[in-house]
Amino acid sequence: MAGAQSDVATLRRVVVRHARDAFHSDTAIDRQWRDLNYLARPDFARAVAEYDGFVELLRDGGAAVHALPADGTVGLDSIYVRDASIACDRGVILCSMGKPQRAAEPAAQGSALRTLGIPIHGAITPPGRVEGGDVVWIDERTLAVGQGYRTNAEGIRQLQALLAGCIAELLVVPLPHWRGPNDVFHLMSILSPIDDDLFLAYSPLLPVPFRERLLARGIELVEVPEPEFATLGCNALAVAPRHCLLVAGNPETRTRLRRAGVTVREFAGAEICLKGGGGPTCLTRPLVRSATER
């Protein structure tokens, strides 16, 4: 699992769950989407088509893409595979979900990962809660973890213990109430690493001490404009340093990234991203990244 402790090095191996296996059918969508607080009902056929395009972009970048199988114990939200686990150089740490409807996802993902031969290093256990969307690698020895409604202090304590020897520093980032406990809000809702010294950020919701620490480390922040925060402009997946995937419909964010020297590839995400509140980082669980660019 060496090479797991980065969010910007070239993506080599990644786990996903295709929309056809997470959403199952229009009937399953009808049964779940309101309870899961989706903004609107996803269309199954369109979601499958969007996801096909997303996976094609991942493979075009040279990543080996492993698709988790359909699993009757999990629902629509299982498309957002990042939240159920965290990868470190010793293996995968299974999370404990802050959203009750997602409680079965870590075990289901863990079973599938074991089948792929991926080592499980440990697990967060209740009352601890950690979701992978709250976990960001600042560099290979520094981890930032958002503390909010999905990730609590006990979960962070357990995570730090599991990462002993893997990291030099864990930064706890207090998250705002924003729209309350029923909304999907993670640290990666407001921060996406693009390169070691370049992050995409929505500064109005970044805690000032944390933002200042990023700047003190020499990290440049590309600011997401307010209108594009709602359309997941701040959630970009780095597939290599200064190469990222972005949900279509965020033209000013795309322009600002390109001005910073970033290659941006867009994909249609109305069904698989916007309605469920999860962008391209949420759709992926990177396992191996390489410091060598293509």
Mean pLDDT, each 10-residue run in order, the chain (294 residues):
91 98 97 97 98 98 95 97 97 97 98 96 98 98 98 98 97 95 94 98 98 98 98 98 98 98 98 98 97 50
Is the distance from CB of 188 to CB of 137 less than 8 angstroms? Answer: no
The per-residue pLDDT for 294 is 36
* 3-state per-residue secondary structure call for the chain: CCCCCCCCCEEEEEEECCHHHHHCCHHHHHHHCCCCCCCCCCCHHHHHHHHHHHHHHHHHCCCEEEECCCCCCCCHHHHCHHHHEEEECCEEEECECCCHHHCCHHHHHHHHHHHCCCCEEEECCCCCCECHHHEEEEECCEEEEEECCCCCHHHHHHHHHHCECCECEEEEEECCCCCCCCCCCCHHHCEEEEECCEEEECHHHCCHHHHHHHHHCCCEEEECCHHHHCCCCCCCEEEECCEEEEECCCHHHHHHHHHCCCEEEEECCHHHHHCCCCCCCCCCEEEEEECCCC
Reading the block at residue 219, the tokens are 């990290």
Distance CA 268, CA 97 (A): 28
The per-residue pLDDT for 2 is 74
Name the residue among 189, 199, 170, 274 with its Cα closest to residue 235.
Answer: 189
The per-residue pLDDT for 293 is 42
Reading the block at residue 21, the tokens are 């296996």
- The full set of domains in the chain, from first to last, is 10-290 (3.75.10.10)
Read off φ and ψ for residue 4, nearest 5 degrees: -85, -20
Read off φ and ψ for residue 57, nearest 5 degrees: -65, -40
Is the distance from CB of 286 to CB of 3 less than 8 angstroms? Answer: no
Is the distance from CB of 97 to CB of 103 less than 8 angstroms? Answer: yes
Reading the block at residue 28, the tokens are 């399953």
